[in-house]
Amino acid sequence: MSKILQLAGNTFRETIRDRVLNVALLFALAMIAAGILLGTLSIGEDQKIVKDLGLAAIEFFSVAIAIFIGTSLLFKEMDKRTIFIVLAKPVRRYEFMLGKFLGLAATLTCLLAAMTAAFGLMLVALHAFAFALFWQIALEWLQILLMIALALMFSTFASPVMAMAYSFALYLIGHNLEGLRVLARQAAPTARRLILLLYDVLPNLGHLDIKNQVVYGMPFSLSQWCVAASYGLVYTAFALVVGVLIFARREF
Amino acid sequence: MDDVAIVEATNLTKIYPAVIGQSAKLGLDGLTLTVRPGETFGLLGPNGAGKTTSQKLFLGLMKPTRGTIKVFGRGPEDPSVRARIGFLPENPYFYNYLTGEEFVRFCGGLFGLPRRTLDDRVKTLLETVGMTQARKVQLRKYSKGMLQRIGIAQALINDPDLVLLDEPMAGLDPVGRRELRELILGLKKAGKTIFFNSHILSDVEDICDRVGILLAGKLVALGTVKELVQGGTSLEDYFVQTVERHVAQPSAT
């Protein structure tokens, strides 16, 4: 465990000093501020728009940065040959991967915390603060973990550009997976089976999205939230295991 | 020190598989070699001869296509084997956002060294390689020679029984080379087993108990410097003659 923490600490130091992170944070804060501005311009609906845009901006920027950094971490180690130094030591391949995952997860948790704090303060100033929003932010955190795991998994066998493309594609598909079900209803039997298989296998990020419920005050149960959170965690673990299995076979 | 051979390679062969636009490439061709405890072994050869491939196989960074490799009697994929090895790669490039001290400490942490031992080892090694003054400077600001010194420090952080050095003299000025030579001789005196790849034949001649010459992945000469160099020639002359003989007649060994 101490080796994983060493590697995670090093990854955290590497990523927290990445300039991309500062740029992303600035953009995200600007988006949240723009949401508030937009909200104050719309009569009646202002609080809902502020909350909706704020939550969406936090999720988008966090996921984008998770994919951007997550897909380049392994490539940088190989390109700069620092991986020789680490894997020549008594470090197992899974320890290396978990260290990378936890380090980047820690960095993005800090980023999320900073954005949430800024968002929360703005909502307090607008008298629009609601604790229910945290349920969604917690699910966004799980989405970030899942996207880090997927980005790392893709980077074990693909170039950074391709790994980024796969990760973004999965993110977009994952949020629109219900469309596959609609498509399946209209497809021929063989195609339908294939589409439904994809529906089952691909990450359904819709499960981790309760923005409408928390913004519009629609009811959601704690058990529904727990099932969604468990789904996110299990899928993250699955992506990590696949990533480790591929990485363990790689030669350097 | 164990009685078993420190490194035992048997018919070690590595073929890099074909990739788009490139055919399969023979990296190492049936290397059979034993490195004994306390020995300083130098592996010589031109670029692309298979020297780095050999060290990567010794460390489990890649798997052999054929043959076996045992280090301390076990396969290098066993972390307990790598816990006894210190490794300096060729043209080392480290995490440039860390300071020299942070980097050596990080490497020590990967061996699970207790904090107090780690503190002592980091301090002693930074002194040994002459990097105490620059220890708080980020690695991005280091010269090539300074990086090489930090590389040596990280390679020795675990007080290894086997030290693998890939072109350790590369990038060092004459003073740095002399210091490194003395450091290696010190390690040798302390009973460490040293295996290094080098182009700088005069250093190899001074330091090594035995040398091997690799050409196109094949070990074409093996013995003590005295055994190989006869009739008053230097190791450099012998090396050049061996390369020329092999180029003229590839099957010659």
| Residue pairs spanning A and B at CB distance below 8 A | 71
- Per-residue model confidence (pLDDT) at position B212: 94
Q: Does the beta-carbon distance from B94 to A82 stay under 8 Å?
A: yes
Q: Does the beta-carbon distance from A90 to B110 stay under 8 Å?
A: yes
Distances (CA, A) of B196 to A220, B45, B164, B203, B237: 65, 12, 6, 11, 20
Closest C-alpha to B87, from B208, B168, B144, B187: B168
Average pLDDT, chain B: 90
Q: Does B68 touch chain A (CB under 8 A)?
A: no
Which chain B residues are closer than 8 Å to A84 by Cβ? 56, 61, 87, 89
- Per-residue model confidence (pLDDT) at position A42: 63
Closest-approach residue (CA) in chain B for A18: B97
Q: Does A6 touch chain B (CB under 8 A)?
A: yes
Q: What is the pLDDT of residues B200-220, one digit of tens each?
A: 788 888 889 999 999 999 999
Q: Does A19 touch chain B (CB under 8 A)?
A: no
- Per-residue model confidence (pLDDT) at position B222: 93
Q: Does A84 touch chain B (CB under 8 A)?
A: yes
Instruction: Reply yes or no on whether the pLDDT at B253 is more than 60.
Output: no
Domains of chain B with bracketed CATH: 1-84+161-253 (3.40.50.300), 86-159 (no CATH)
- Per-residue model confidence (pLDDT) at position B175: 85
- Per-residue model confidence (pLDDT) at position A107: 94
Q: Does the beta-carbon distance from A81 to B59 stay under 8 Å?
A: no
Q: Does the beta-carbon distance from B87 to A82 stay under 8 Å?
A: no
Q: Alpha-carbon distance A172 to A166, whole Å? A: 10
Q: What percent of chain B has pLDDT over 70?
A: 96
Q: Which residues contact B182 (CB under 8 A, 6 or more apart)?
A: none
Q: Does the beta-carbon distance from A14 to B97 stay under 8 Å?
A: yes
Q: Does B4 touch chain A (CB under 8 A)?
A: no
Residue with tokens 């629109």: A176
Distances (CA, A) of A28 to A55, A118, B87, B126: 10, 10, 43, 43
Average pLDDT, chain A: 89
Q: Alpha-carbon distance A93 to A244, whole Å? A: 7
Q: What percent of chain B has pLDDT over 90?
A: 60
Which chain B residues are closer than 8 Å to A86 by Cβ? 110
What's the pLDDT band for B235 if we cut at 50, 70, 90? confident
Closest-approach residue (CA) in chain B for A2: B112
Q: Alpha-carbon distance B155 to B81, whole Å? A: 15
Q: Does B79 touch chain A (CB under 8 A)?
A: yes
Q: What is the pLDDT of residues B24-72, one digit of tens each?
A: 899 999 999 999 999 999 999 988 899 999 999 999 999 999 999 999 9
Tens-level pLDDT at each residue, chain A (252 residues) = 789 999 999 999 999 887 777 877 787 778 777 766 776 666 556 678 888 888 998 999 899 999 999 999 999 999 888 999 999 999 999 999 999 999 999 999 999 998 899 888 888 877 878 888 999 999 999 999 999 999 999 999 999 999 999 999 999 999 998 888 888 888 888 888 999 899 989 999 999 998 888 888 788 888 989 999 999 999 999 999 999 999 999 988
Q: Alpha-carbon distance A9 to B98, whole Å? A: 12
What's the whole-number mean pLDDT along residues B137-162?
92
Q: Alpha-carbon distance B215 to B50, whole Å? A: 8
ipTM of this complex prediction, to 2 decimal places: 0.89
- Per-residue model confidence (pLDDT) at position B80: 95
- In this complex, the residue of B93, B110, B164 whose CB is nearest that of residue A91 is B110
Q: Does the beta-carbon distance from B83 to A6 stay under 8 Å?
A: no
The single-letter code of the amino acid at A224 is: Q
Which chain A residues are closer than 8 Å to B82 by Cβ? 88-91
Q: Does the beta-carbon distance from B110 to A251 stay under 8 Å?
A: no
Q: Alpha-carbon distance B102 to B93, whole Å? A: 15
- Per-residue model confidence (pLDDT) at position A122: 83
The residue with greater pLDDT, B250 or B18, is: B18
Instruction: Reply yes or no on whether the pLDDT at B252 is more than 70.
Output: no
- Per-residue model confidence (pLDDT) at position A180: 86
